[in-house]
Amino acid sequence: MALALVFLPVVWGAKLMTMRTLEEITQEILDLAVKQFKVPSGSLKAEDDFYKKLGIDSLQALELLSRLENHFKIELPDYEVQGVSDFKTLAERVQSRL
Amino acid sequence: MLDLTRYSSLGEALRDALETWPREVCLYESDRGQEKERITYRDFKQRALPLAKWLQDSGFAAGDRAAIIMTNQSKWLISAYAVFYCGGTLVPLDYKLRPEEQWKLAKHSGASVLIAEYPVWRQLSAGAGRVDAEKIQTVLVAEAPANADLAGGQRWEESRGAGEPKLIMRKREDLACIVYSSGTGGTPKGCMMTHGNYLEQCVALTTWYPFWPGVKYLSILPTNHAIDFMVGFIGPFTCGAAVVHLRTLRPEFVREAFPKYQITYVSLVPLVLRNLQKGLQARFDELPAGKRYVFELLRKMNVVLTKHRPIRWLSRLLLGQVHQAFGGHIEAIIVGGAFTEPQTLQFFYDLGLPVANGYGLTEAGTAVTVNDLKPFRADTVGKPLPGMEVRIVNPDADGIGQVAVRSKTVMAGYLNEPDLTAETIVDGWLMTGDMGRFDRTGHLQLFGRKKNMIVTEEGKNVYAEDIEQAFDGLPVKEFCVFAANYIWPSRSMVGEQLVLVMHLEPGTTFTEELRQEIVARNNRLINFKRLHGIVIYGEDFPLTASLKIIRVALAERLGKMRREEAIQSI
């Protein structure tokens, strides 16, 4: 009982630490995209169409997804991101899997 | 040579295949690098026949239509076989389309049954358009979680009838599939493909690129696509070969699959082939100078020694490491769906990895010409397959004219579109709308299109008219979407673009607000359908008496403008 009292707040605390807001997730995705596609920091916005803004094709978009999976420690099946082309919607899909 | 003359339908041909190779593996089912199961031809039969019986018990009869929307996986093929077994017509739909587009095509096809994976169905059932497709009475949903709301659907896994179903015989001229080559926005072009079309195409393709038990085909192109349906299902199954499914298109898993399964054939669209090329080239560039020198020497040796025909064992010996990355068993990389740049094709051939590039269209039953590698000709799309008659209509001084095809593989016509069919199939010849010529050795070369459409590197056909509705209500006097190469013929099959031609309201100018509106609407389109730019035209569009735009005449007028000056990027 005493042990539980000690550990539960720690576990909850860890959980709370990993809970990110949509804005935070979006920003992390933007940062990852900046690194992966070597574009200037701050040049991407949440509403941007990543195909157009980054000039990437569907395969490069899939590579970005793999990077997101590793970063957020989640699995994003290909179907989950069908038709998604802006960072904000992508962040929503990531959030639903966290 | 494969002999399918005794069969009149795909159901019959597949039934015999399942009986002939019961112990051979027909499907390797993998999910993100993890192999989930291997399915033998006997297992396949044991899974498909109860589904066929269930369909028959539900009243699904000869000629009835079943639409299927799934990613590449065993249940796609099992469902298709069950439909053919019942004498039904399959309507393969693209899982990448939006729900409203899928509903539209499902409705147009007249399907009474819909078979879908749960993630697809989850979006479809919530999507607009369901009410219009009232003919669909039965929905089979595969792989739904235990507590999932099936929204009126029935679990695929539980759709098993007891007892033996009856194989329903069909004639060669009966419909096997309705395949949509385009038309999600405008007129749906549902190609009516007969059993005879597929049986003939299967024999023609396997004559040059045979399958046999032990061959492993990596299925990456969507199975609803005419190429994968043939070389990722009918071809390998009628020959006892196996198909590998990955459930993902992530490049890292695709690369891993080649050595893991020792792949024999794979079909790719140019986009993926180019991605592989980039990856390989980057690795070559990283080699230390000494190794790079040796590698280039070996590559040059391979080029000289395989100039007239591929010598696969020799190439594997000379360039072992490259071939190991592809599993060491590649017979050919089949590339299709769109035009591939010769440099990319040559890159692979020089490494001893033959690329069977070709030319085809759904309406012609997939492939019309394929490179026979005797010798490899990267600058062409190969020679006509056995059974294909190809001629050039109205050639100009350079011998370039419209490519026309006559063959037993040519579709019966477009569903519910007799006028369009009559325009497309003239005196038994399929007018492809593509421009080409034959060289002295009988290889076909392509030089642009006569049609107002583009084909993307991903193999997607986009007809300009199909995306016009996305711009309905735009505050301009009139507008029209064109493929830029249709207005300004370029004799090229690459870099195709769509442009929005607008005639502004009198006294108005092209404002930033209007540009933003166009950009916003453009961004709502799926990426491969988007406009590249706009053209402002200062005169009234030529119209018919019923006020329809005369596109040919408008294109002619626009063609007088200089392309570079006319198109403004958005």
A4 domain residue, yes or no = no
B457 to A57: CB separation less than 8 angstroms, yes or no: yes
**Residue B302 backbone class (left: φ over 0; alpha: ψ -120 to 50; beta: rest):** alpha
Judgement on whether residues B139 and B243 belong to the same structural domain of the protein: yes
| Nearest CB to B523; choose among A49, A58, A59 | A49
Q: What confidence tier does A9 reach under pLDDT thresholds 50, 70, 90? A: low
Same domain, B221 and B284: no
Q: Helices (H) and strands (E) in chain A — how many of each?
A: 5, 0
Give the range of the structural domain holding residue B383, as residue numbers without chain letter.
Answer: 269-449
Residues B234, B303 share a domain? no
Query: What is the pLDDT averaged over residues A6-18?
Result: 53
Pick from A66, A85, A86: which is nearest to B250 by CB?
A66
Q: Let me know if residue B243 belongs to a domain.
A: yes
Is the pLDDT at B186 greater than 70? The verdict is: no
Please give the pLDDT value at position A81.
Answer: 79
In B341-471 the beta strands, taken as DSSP E runs, fall at 355-361, 366-370, 383-384, 389-393, 401-406, 413-414, 425-426, 429-438, 444-449, 453-455, 461-463
- The pLDDT value given to residue B135: 92
- B436-490 tens-digit pLDDT: 999 999 999 998 888 888 888 777 778 888 788 889 889 999 999 999 988 998 8
For position B247, which CATH number holds? 3.40.50.12780
| Residue ranges of chain A whose CB lies within 8 Å of a chain B CB | 49, 51-52, 57-59, 62-63, 65-66, 75, 77-80, 82-83, 85-86
DSSP β-bridge partners for residue B245: B29, B219
One domain for residues B246 and B276: no
- For residue B177, what is the DSSP state? E
Average pLDDT, chain A: 82
Q: pLDDT class for B185, splitting at 50, 70, 90? A: low
B523 → chain A, closest CA residue: A49
Asked whether residue B546 carries a pLDDT value surpassing 80, the answer given is no
CB atoms closer than 10 angstroms to residue B161: 16
The average pLDDT across B72-82 equals 97
Residue B5 covered by a domain:
no
Q: Do the domain assignments include residue B459?
A: no
Nearest CB to B527 within list A62, A65, A85: A85
Whether A67 is in a domain gets the answer: yes
Domain presence at residue A79: yes
- Asked which of B261, B277, B292 is the last residue of a domain, the reply is B261
Q: Quote the number of domains for chain B.
A: 3
Question: Would residue B188 count as lying in a domain?
Answer: yes
Q: Whole-angstrom Cα distance, residue B395 to residue B447?
A: 12
Mutant choice from B32, B93, B245, B527 vs A, greatest count of A C-beta within 10 A: B527
Domain count of the fold of chain A: 1
Report pLDDT digits (tens) over B311-362. Answer: 999 999 999 999 999 999 999 999 987 888 899 999 999 999 999 999 999 9
Q: Is B147 exposed, middle or buried (0-12, 13-18, 19+ CB in 10 A)?
A: exposed
Among B261, B293, B309, the domain-final residue is B261
On average, the pLDDT of chain B sits at: 92
* Mean predicted confidence (pLDDT) in B146-175: 96
pLDDT of res. A18:
60
If asked whether residues B239 and B135 sit together in one domain, one would say yes
Q: Name the minimum distance, in Å, from the CA of A28 to any CA of chain B.
A: 21
Quick one: pLDDT at residue A10?
A: 54
> Are B433 and B349 part of one and the same domain?
yes
Residue A92's domain comprises: 20-97
Judge whether A44 lies within some domain: yes
Greatest alpha-carbon span in chain B: 75
Domain containing A25 — which CATH number? 1.10.1200.10
pLDDT at B51: 98
Nearest-Cα distance to chain A for B498, in Å, is: 15
- Note the pTM of the prediction, 2 decimals: 0.85
The answer to whether residue B1 is domain-embedded is no
Element (H, E) at B515: helix B512-524
Same domain, B445 and B481: no
If asked whether residues B255 and B292 sit together in one domain, one would say: no
Size of interface A-B (CB pairs under 8 A): 50
| Matching residue, tokens 């046999």 | B212
How many whole angstroms from its chain centre is CA B105? 16
Question: Is residue A33, in this structure, part of any structural domain at all?
Answer: yes
Residue A14 lies in a domain: no
pLDDT, one tens digit per residue, over B522-545 is: 988 887 888 999 999 999 999 877
Within 10 A of B400 (CB to CB), how many other CB atoms are there? 18
Q: Would you say residue A27 lies in a domain?
A: yes
DSSP code, position B94: -
Instruction: Return the pLDDT at B175.
Output: 98
Note the pLDDT tens digit of each residue in B238-280. Answer: 999 999 999 888 888 998 999 999 999 999 888 888 888 988 9
State the pLDDT at residue B473: 87
Pair (B250, B328) in one structural domain: no
Structure-model confidence comparison of residues B492 and B70, the more confident one: B70
